[in-house]
Amino acid sequence: MAVGAGLLSLVLIPALSLMGQSSKLLQRLEIQDQLLFEAEKLIEQTKIDLCDPAVFASRRGTFEAQVVGNETDSLRSRLTIENSITSNLVTIEVTVWEDANNSRSLNANELSETLRTQWSQP
């Protein structure tokens, strides 16, 4: 009986450890999915804003950004709009990260996602 219990514990302890690791990885994937969703929404929101010719002509630089209607303190976003190869094309880059320490800046240990696309003048 003791030998059987010992063998069973040799199998169960690593299995329980793997379950804990699996739970952590699943939580990390959920956060990354949320970050990608936010980045995609910001890109689409920016494209809509840039449909106005006056905004397209004047909006360049790096800005803090948030998805309209989805303001949250745990996620931070940085939007960069810069000129591209031609004058009627801009590059849009969005970085979204989980601001775990509430520093309002991206740190090496924080999960982040970056998306980049180009948009043409309307």
DSSP string, 6-47: HHHHHHHHHHHHHHHHHHHHHHHHHHHHHHHHHHHHHHHHHH
pLDDT confidence of residue 71: 61
10 pLDDT tier (thresholds 50, 70, 90): confident
79 pLDDT tier (thresholds 50, 70, 90): very high
- For 26-78, the pLDDT digits (tens) are 888 998 998 999 999 999 999 999 999 999 989 999 988 877 666 666 788 89
Query: pTM (2 decimals)?
Result: 0.77
